[in-house]
Amino acid sequence: MRVNVDHAAGFAAGIGATPAQFLDLGSGGGVPGLVLARRWPESRAVLLDARERRCRFLREAVRDLDLAERVIVVWARAEEAGHRDYLRGAFDLVVARGFGPPAVAAECGAPFLRVGGTLAVSEPPDGDSGDPPDASRWLAPGLARLGLAVGSSWSDGFRYQALEQVEPCPERYARNPGVPAKRPLF
């Protein structure tokens, strides 16, 4: 369990300033979202997951950790939630740990970011953990279609890649549920 907390804390190491609002994409058991919500007590957070059972667990955890005033749980597919007015373009930061391949994480994460926001993704542990992530996994032409650009990368015992929202994500993204994985942009 400690390794999961350390991995979640590693997101904060490369982010810099505390975000006003962040979203945990595919929150699952709440890592990194719950860890970051505790680390950043002035931030508002959304924990997003497509599975009802996980969302029930997350709601209990939010209540038990006394985070209910500033953390909400949303039960929805990312592809659909990214089109909801109250979520689209609303976040300074989206974090994704184990969400999916690069093209899927980018397409599902970009709709939630405001211009100037960051999508921070946990990278696979291949190679020495001190090595920077492989930016070639994030192809610029595909990212540009989403308004994203490759940002910084960092290691803090684990590897992370930041993508910067440089233009608004076009309204057509994310595509319908399942399509980003079946027909990736890159």
What digits encode the pLDDT tens for the residues 136-182? 899 999 999 999 999 999 998 899 999 999 999 999 999 999 999 99
Q: What 3-state class would DSSP assign to 60?
A: helix
Reported confidence tier of residue 58, pLDDT bands at 50, 70, 90 = very high
Reported confidence tier of residue 126, pLDDT bands at 50, 70, 90 = low
Name 102's Cβ contacts closer than 8 Å, sequence gap at least 6.
121, 137, 138, 139, 186
* pLDDT at residue 130 is higher than 60: no
Neighbours of 80 (CB within 10 A): 13
Query: Given this model, what pLDDT does residue 129 score?
Result: 46
Number of domain units in the chain:
1
Q: What are phi and psi of 185, to 5 degrees?
A: -70, -25
Query: Given this model, what pLDDT does residue 131 score?
Result: 55
* pLDDT at residue 63 is higher than 70: yes
What is the 8-class DSSP label of residue 179?
Answer: H
Q: What 3-state class would DSSP assign to 45?
A: strand
List alpha helices for the chain, DSSP H. 2-15, 33-39, 52-64, 78-81, 102-109, 140-145, 179-182
Query: Given this model, what pLDDT does residue 185 score?
Result: 97
Token pair belonging to 57: 């667990």
Q: For residue 6, what is the domain's CATH number? A: 3.40.50.150
Average pLDDT in the 23-38 region? 97
Q: Which pTM value belongs to this model?
A: 0.94
Average per-residue pLDDT in the chain?
Answer: 94
CA-CA distance, 41 to 72, in Å (whole number)? 14
Average pLDDT in the 90-110 region? 97
Neighbours of 3 (CB within 10 A): 10
* pLDDT at residue 41 is higher than 70: yes
Q: Is the peptide bond before 174 cis (omega within 30 degrees of 0)?
A: yes
Rounded to the nearest 10°, the torsion over CA 105, 110, 116, 118 is: -20
Average pLDDT in the 12-33 region? 96
Neighbours of 157 (CB within 10 A): 12
Query: Given this model, what pLDDT does residue 125 score?
Result: 81
Provide the domain limits for residue 13.
Answer: 2-182
Of the chain, the percentage scoring pLDDT greater than 70 comes to 95
Average pLDDT in the 29-46 region? 97
